[in-house]
Amino acid sequence: ILELIFFFCCFLRFDEIKEGDVVRHDGKRSDGYLEHIFKHAAKELFGVDVKEITYKALKNKDFQEVTLEKDGETVLRFAAAYGFRNIQNMVLKLKKGKFLYHFVEVLACPGGCLNGKGQAQTEDGKPDKALLNQMEEVYAAIPVRLPETNMHVQKMYQDWLEGMDSKKVQETLHTKYSSVNQTASNLDIKW
């Protein structure tokens, strides 16, 4: 679905969008799609319909986890890592083989995208908390619509991707990952 959003944005003609067409993904903030992906995975993989997600802050408020338990066992473990300090810690744990997450949403700005340096700040260069709250309220007022029910996405699947289960969908929107052999180099980043 994330790949689909990228292609959707590339092919969408903004002059065709009306005010009622503006929608947002599931979640309380404008950050990534962790909540949508978590709910979708819970339903598709384990038959669990998750209505509300509870984030558990770990070492700090910008590294949180979401888990799904079934029959007393944790079957899904997602994390949201905001800010370079948390990203660095995540990479270190990955290298040590001590990273237990199935999915991680990574955002460079502490507090998420709305708190980023590209946003409005006070004269002393600090985040404008009143404006940040106002932006979050405006975002929360936009209706939620699942990407798979969006008529523009459906049209793209039909017209450009030749249907939902086509070979073109598999080639364009799906990938496989394999391990990469490490090579020693002075240019390697040591986190």
Q: How far is the C-alpha of 83 from the C-alpha of 126, rounded, in Å? A: 16
| Spatial separation of the C-alpha atoms in residues 1 and 21, rounded to whole Å | 18
Note whether residue 185 is domain-resident: no
Report residues of the chain scoring pLDDT below 50. 1-12
Domain hosting 94: range is 33-116
What's the confidence (pLDDT) of residue 126?
A: 76
Query: What's the confidence (pLDDT) of residue 5?
Result: 43
What per-residue confidence (pLDDT) applies to 31?
Answer: 61
- List own/partner pairs for 16-23 with CB under 8 A and 24 or more apart: 21/152, 22/142, 23/142, 23/143, 23/144, 23/145, 23/150
Q: What is the model's pLDDT at position 9?
A: 46
Find the helix or strand (DSSP H, E) in which 170 lies.
helix 167-173
Distance between CA 24 and CA 22 in Å, rounded?
Answer: 7
Answer yes or no: is 71 within a domain.
yes
Relative to beta strand 56-57, strand 63-70 is antiparallel
- Helix, strand, coil % in the chain, rounded to nearest 5: 40, 15, 45
- As for how many domains the chain has, the answer is 1
Confirm whether 93 is domain-assigned.
Answer: yes
Q: Which class for 78: exposed (0-12), middle (13-18), buried (19 or more C-beta within 10 A)? A: buried
- 156 in a domain, yes or no? no
Query: Is 191 part of a structural domain of the chain?
Result: no
Question: What CATH code is carried by the domain that includes residue 110?
Answer: 3.40.950.10
Phi-psi region of 118 (alpha: psi -120 to 50; beta: other; left: phi over 0): alpha
pLDDT digits (tens, 9 = 90+) for 11-25: 445 556 565 566 666
Q: Is residue 122 in some structural domain?
A: no
**142 inside domain:** no
Residue 136 CA, chain-centre distance (Å), reads 17
**82: nearest Cα among 66, 53, 60, 56:** 60
The Cα–Cα gap between 79 and 98 comes to 14
E strand or H helix at 103: strand 103-107
DSSP 66-85: EEEEETTEEEEEEEEEESHH
Whether residue 153 lies inside any domain: the answer is: no
